Amino acid sequence: MGEVKSAGRPRSAEKDAAILRAALELLASQGFVRMTLDQVAAAAGVSKSTIHLRWKSKGNLVTAALESVRMAEAPPTTGDTRADLVAVLEDFAATVRQVRGMALIGTCLAEETHTPELLAMLRERTVLPRRALLRGVLEQARERGEIRPDADLEVAVSALLGPFYADYMAGRTDRTDWAEEAVELTLAGLRPPTP
């Protein structure tokens, strides 16, 4: 919808990827307002007109760049609730670090008033699918009787993800066992009472 189709040579997938990578990096480092298409072109090694042939505006480009961060493949589930939750959380953290995700999140939050589609796209493409994965693992655990039937799984998902964000804000980014600890703490609160 935001892309402009042109006649002539087929588009280069390598150029597209370079442009989207550059846009993500600049969005994270400069923010939406300060980021320019000239900067993206220079970082991607393409001309500004090459970008304009693909995307009508900076907003269209940034939306496409955020869409490219879409969660690709989920870690396969094993049926072991603890291991599956830890795997999803560790994959989440690796993805966030790979794309400078905390800076992207900050930019999208800062732009919410003026460019709400950025945060909407980030939620739709990355946040909600990851939450759905965690909820799916918890639903399977509930079906197996490992979790109380009345447990609020949305609150549990937030409890699982929250430590990553809280540790980042506290400058505790060197903790390698945060996922295991978040899972243990959350599962302890979800277990059915012992008779």
Q: Does domain 13-68 sit in CATH 3.40.1360.10?
A: no
pLDDT for res 1: 45
Q: Read off the amino acid at residue 179.
A: A
- Domain assignments of the chain as residue spans, ordered by start: 13-68, 81-190
User: Rounded distance, CA 21 to CA 180, Å?
Assistant: 31
User: Rounded distance, CA 92 to CA 182, Å?
Assistant: 13
Provide the 3-class DSSP secondary structure of residue 97: helix
CA distances from 50 to 41, 61, 70, 166, 185 (A): 8, 12, 24, 40, 50
User: Rounded distance, CA 106 to CA 103, Å?
Assistant: 5
Domain 13-68 shares a fold with domain 81-190:
no
User: Rounded distance, CA 53 to CA 3, Å?
Assistant: 8
Per-residue pLDDT tens listing for the chain (195 residues)? 444 454 545 578 899 999 999 998 898 888 888 899 999 999 999 999 999 999 988 888 988 887 777 655 677 889 999 999 999 999 888 888 877 788 888 888 988 898 888 888 888 878 888 899 999 999 999 999 999 999 999 999 999 999 999 999 999 988 889 999 999 999 999 999 887
Q: Is the pTM of this model over 0.85?
A: no
CA-CA-CA-CA torsion sign (49, 54, 55, 56)? positive
pLDDT for res 154: 97
User: Rounded distance, CA 21 to CA 41, Å?
Assistant: 11
pLDDT for res 8: 47
pLDDT for res 32: 85
> In CATH, which superfamily holds the domain spanning 81-190?
Tetracycline Repressor, domain 2 (1.10.357.10)
CA distances from 166 to 127, 169, 171 (A): 16, 5, 9
User: Rounded distance, CA 190 to CA 40, Å?
Assistant: 47
